[in-house]
């Protein structure tokens, strides 16, 4: 690929974003859409600047609550994935139940969590956790369960115990799956936190969205959405850099472009 | 041959039958049957036969990964009852770990098998030197710190054979190790294996479907028939050692290959008649 084409590829998301904003702004200006119904990008930017202190405060709250829930999700997800991936019996027993649990809408847990933990940090952290541990578990388990039988034979002949095979081969093998799942899970965690804050908190972007909406400050509500979207994208990118660093051997095919 | 009569056999299969599970056993569906085999210490044997004839099953029996349904397998004077640490294995797929460098891949068995395992931390430098020396001896000098995916297929297969040999096994089992390589690379690896075996005198059981490969490398070639797997022909290869690749173009060599081909051809024909 030429240098120019590479540069175009690197900038393409920003160019697309700019194009969407321009069209959006153009439509809002051309049809003079009311800012109360559907604010233009310019209006949202103004609101962002005007309420930057307020938004930053709520965004920070949402951020650390999400990271707390996500941290728990990593610990629980890895342990559970290790258990399921390393034992056929555990896989058979746990997997159907977990799939059932994953199908439940996590927002439905919020009222229950409020009863148990009250309004505030508790429900938000736990919702973030509940929504994001599943992909981590599934990916660790998949990485462990898909071992080449020949390699297993090579090691078993040497007297390798199940634990040896898991630690020397299974875990490193599942690392690309693990880091891949972190990217998905972190964005889900932001969804969990925001949804929970909408009904069960007096702080955070979720709370900001609801209160701005109820006072017809549509520009501010959209600014809140921008804030949570930017945070989720930032974390996604951070984990994707981490993934490339830690498991470069698994991405060798894509190094060429 | 005279060698057979002397010292007790190193590998001794006595009337070995294997069915993979109880239902197959009850139905008398055996993957291999009536295997009788005596291999003296340091002998290089090759097993050839059509695909699906139970060659890989034979490998599992010789390494102790499978126990025979009937009969006994004795290796090194002891009956095989579980995985046999004095063996090393390599397969058609090199199956090296992509996150380890080539030298670290070769050292993997030392992290697992005793007595190396318990002294691995203290003697790591010594073991690493040993792994590097082994890699250099098969022509991989300068590639030790590369990752497997930076090597060509033939180089990966060399590294895989080094991994099978690092713990100095008495017996090397190879399951179609050169099957996925091009003809020139394959011949290079034949020579690499020939030299390693000449230097270290380990036993080799080579499973292959390449007749030229079996005749060039082995002391004895066994021809296996298809379902049920049985040894139907045993052929000593009395070509002098060390053998050069040139030997593969001599009439003597070609005659042996032709003769073996005849056995396999007859077997396939007979099989076809039975099938009708």
Q: How confident is the model at residue B49 (pLDDT cuts 50, 70, 90)?
A: confident
Contacts of B164 in chain A (CB under 8 A): 154
Q: How far is CA B108 from CA B18, B113, B183, in A?
A: 31, 9, 29
Minimum Cα–Cα distance from B93: chain A residue: A150
Choose the mutation target among B80, B105, B112 for the interface with A, i.e. most A CBs under 10 Å.
Answer: B112
Identify the burial level of B126 via C-beta atoms within 10 angstroms of its C-beta, where 0-12 means exposed, 13-18 middle and 19 or more buried: exposed
Mean pLDDT of chain B: 85
What's the mean pLDDT in A172-179?
87
Contact B99 A247 (CB under 8 A): yes
pLDDT given for residue B6 in this prediction? 54
Q: How far is B120 from chain A (nearest CA, A)?
A: 14
Judged by average pLDDT, the poorest of A34-48, A108-122, B169-183, B259-273 is B259-273
Using a pLDDT cut of 90, give the percent of chain B over it: 13
Pairing verdict, β B44-48 and B231-236: unpaired
Rounded distance, CA B63 to CA A142, Å? 29
pLDDT given for residue A76 in this prediction? 94
Q: How confident is the model at residue A68 (pLDDT cuts 50, 70, 90)?
A: very high
Q: For this complex, say whether ipTM is above 0.85.
A: no
pLDDT given for residue B271 in this prediction? 60
Rounded distance, CA A3 to CA A222, Å? 37
CB distance A164 to A155 below 8 Å: yes
Domain ranges of chain B: 2-86+175-275, 97-169
Contact A158 B167 (CB under 8 A): yes
Question: If we measure between CA atoms, which residue out of B196, B234, B190, B235 comes closest to residue B216?
Answer: B190
Choose the mutation target among A146, A157, A178, A179 for the interface with B, i.e. most B CBs under 10 Å.
Answer: A157
A157 closest CB neighbour out of B63, B108, B114 = B63
Q: Is the pLDDT of residue B95 over 80?
A: yes
Contact A158 B93 (CB under 8 A): no
Question: If we measure between CA atoms, which residue out of B91, B108, B102, B86 comes closest to residue A169?
Answer: B108
Structure tokens at B25: 């056993």
Q: Is the pLDDT of residue A89 over 80?
A: yes
B98 closest CB neighbour out of A150, A158, A249 = A249
Q: How far is A53 from chain B (nearest CA, A)?
A: 46
Structure tokens at A17: 């974003």
Q: How confident is the model at residue A41 (pLDDT cuts 50, 70, 90)?
A: confident
Eight-state DSSP code of residue A159 = T
Q: Is the pLDDT of residue A59 over 80?
A: yes
Contacts of A175 in chain B (CB under 8 A): 99
Contact B64/A at CB under 8 A:
yes
Contact A148 B108 (CB under 8 A): no
Rounded distance, CA B195 to CA B245, Å? 12
What's the mean pLDDT in A83-89?
85
pLDDT given for residue B276 in this prediction? 41
Using a pLDDT cut of 90, give the percent of chain A over it: 12
What's the mean pLDDT in A111-140?
88
pLDDT given for residue B224 in this prediction? 86
Minimum Cα–Cα distance from A171: chain B residue: B99
Judged by average pLDDT, the poorest of A57-66, A103-112, A206-215, B24-33 is B24-33
Q: Is the pLDDT of residue B273 over 60?
A: no
Contact A154 B89 (CB under 8 A): yes
Q: How far is A179 from chain B (nearest CA, A)?
A: 15
Q: How confident is the model at residue B4 (pLDDT cuts 50, 70, 90)?
A: very low
pLDDT given for residue A67 in this prediction? 92
pLDDT given for residue B113 in this prediction? 84
Q: How confident is the model at residue A74 (pLDDT cuts 50, 70, 90)?
A: very high
Q: How confident is the model at residue A19 (pLDDT cuts 50, 70, 90)?
A: very high
Q: Is the pLDDT of residue A257 over 70?
A: no
Q: Is the pLDDT of residue B7 over 70?
A: no
Q: What is the 3-state secondary structure (H, E, C) of chain B?
A: CHHHHCCCCCEEEEEEEECCCHHHHHCCCCCEEEEEEEECCCCEEEEECCCCCCHHHHHHHHHCCCCCCEEEEEECCEECCCCCCCEEEECCCCCCCCCCCHHHHHHHHHHCCCCCHHHCCCCHHHHHHHHHHHHHHCCCCCCCCCCHHHCCHHHHHHHHHHHHHCCCCCEEEEECCCCCCCHHHHHHHHHHHHHHHHHHCCEEEEEECCHHHHHHHCCEEEEECCCCECEEEEEECCCCCCCCHHHHHCHHHHHHHHHHHHHHHHHHHHHHHHHC
B108 closest CB neighbour out of A153, A168, A247 = A168
pLDDT given for residue B23 in this prediction? 82
Domain B2-86+175-275 homologous superfamily, CATH:
P-loop containing nucleotide triphosphate hydrolases (3.40.50.300)
Q: Is the pLDDT of residue A92 over 90?
A: no
What's the mean pLDDT in B73-81?
85
Single pTM value for the model:
0.76
A172 closest CB neighbour out of B91, B99, B167 = B99
Q: Is the pLDDT of residue B73 over 60?
A: yes
Q: Is the pLDDT of residue B272 over 70?
A: no
Q: How far is CA B41 from CA A194, B7, B9, B200, in A?
A: 72, 8, 7, 12
Which alpha helices (DSSP H) does chain A contain, by range? 3-30, 41-50, 52-86, 88-103, 110-117, 121-145, 149-157, 162-165, 171-200, 205-214, 218-246
Rounded distance, CA B95 to CA B97, Å? 6
Q: Which long-range contacts (CB under 8 A, 24 or more apart) does A116-121 make?
A: A119/A200, A119/A201, A119/A202, A120/A200, A120/A201, A120/A202, A120/A203, A121/A65, A121/A68, A121/A201
B 131-160 near A (Cβ less than 8 A): 147, 149
Identify the burial level of B23 via C-beta atoms within 10 angstroms of its C-beta, where 0-12 means exposed, 13-18 middle and 19 or more buried: exposed
Contact B168/A at CB under 8 A:
no
């Amino acid at each position: 690929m030429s240098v120019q084409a590479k540069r175009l590829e690197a900038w393409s998301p920003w160019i697309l974003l700019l194009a969407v904003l321009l069209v959006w702004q153009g439509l809002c200006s051309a049809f003079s859409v009311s800012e109360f119904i559907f604010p233009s990008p310019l209006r949202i930017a103004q609101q962002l600047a005007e309420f930057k202190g307020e938004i930053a405060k709520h965004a920070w709250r949402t951020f650390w609550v999400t990271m707390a829930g996500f941290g728990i999700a990593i610990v629980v997800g890895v342990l559970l994935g290790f258990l399921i991936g390393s034992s056929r019996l555990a896989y058979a027993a746990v997997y159907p139940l977990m799939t059932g649990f994953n199908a439940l809408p996590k927002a439905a847990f919020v009222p229950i969590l409020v009863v148990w933990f009250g309004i505030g940090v508790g429900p938000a952290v736990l919702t973030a956790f509940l929504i994001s541990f599943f992909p981590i578990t599934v990916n660790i388990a998949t990485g462990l369960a898909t071992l080449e039988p020949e390699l297993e034979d090579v090691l078993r002949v040497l007297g390798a115990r199940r634990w040896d095979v898991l630690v020397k081969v299974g875990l490193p093998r599942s690392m690309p799956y693990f880091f891949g799942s972190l990217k998905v899970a972190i964005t889900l965690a932001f969804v969990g936190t925001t949804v929970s804050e909408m009904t069960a908190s007096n702080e955070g972007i979720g709370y900001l969205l609801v209160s701005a909406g109820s006072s017809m400050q549509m520009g501010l509500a959209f600014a809140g959405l921008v804030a949570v979207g930017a945070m989720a994208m930032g974390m996604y990118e951070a984990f994707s850099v981490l993934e490339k660093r830690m498991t470069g051997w698994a991405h060798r095919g894509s190094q060429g472009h | 041959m005279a060698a057979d009569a002397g010292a007790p056999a190193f590998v001794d299969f006595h009337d070995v039958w294997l069915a993979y599970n109880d239902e197959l056993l009850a139905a008398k569906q055996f993957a291999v049957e009536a295997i009788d085999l005596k291999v003296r210490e340091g002998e290089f044997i090759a097993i050839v036969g059509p695909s699906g004839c139970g060659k890989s099953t034979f490998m599992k029996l010789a390494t102790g990964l499978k126990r025979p349904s009937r009969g006994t397998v004795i290796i090194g004077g002891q009956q095989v009852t579980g995985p046999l640490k004095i063996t090393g294995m390599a397969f058609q797929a090199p199956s090296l770990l992509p996150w380890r460098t080539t030298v670290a891949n070769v050292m993997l068995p030392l992290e697992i098998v005793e007595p190396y395992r318990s002294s691995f931390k203290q003697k790591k430098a010594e073991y690493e030197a040993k792994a590097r020396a082994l890699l250099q001896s098969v022509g991989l000098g300068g590639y030790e710190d590369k990752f497997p995916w930076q090597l060509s297929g033939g180089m990966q297969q060399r590294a895989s054979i080094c991994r099978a040999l690092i713990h100095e096994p008495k017996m090397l089992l190879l399951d179609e190790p050169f099957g996925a390589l091009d003809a020139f690379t394959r011949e290079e690896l034949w020579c690499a294996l020939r030299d390693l075996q000449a230097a270290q005198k380990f036993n080799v059981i080579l499973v292959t479907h390449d007749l030229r490969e079996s005749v060039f490398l082995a002391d004895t070639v066994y021809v296996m028939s298809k379902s049920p797997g049985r040894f139907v022909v045993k052929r000593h290869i009395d070509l002098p050692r060390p053998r050069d690749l040139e030997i593969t173009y001599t009439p003597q060599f070609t005659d042996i290959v032709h003769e073996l081909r005849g056995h396999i051809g007859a077997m396939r024909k007979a099989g076809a008649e039975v099938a009708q």
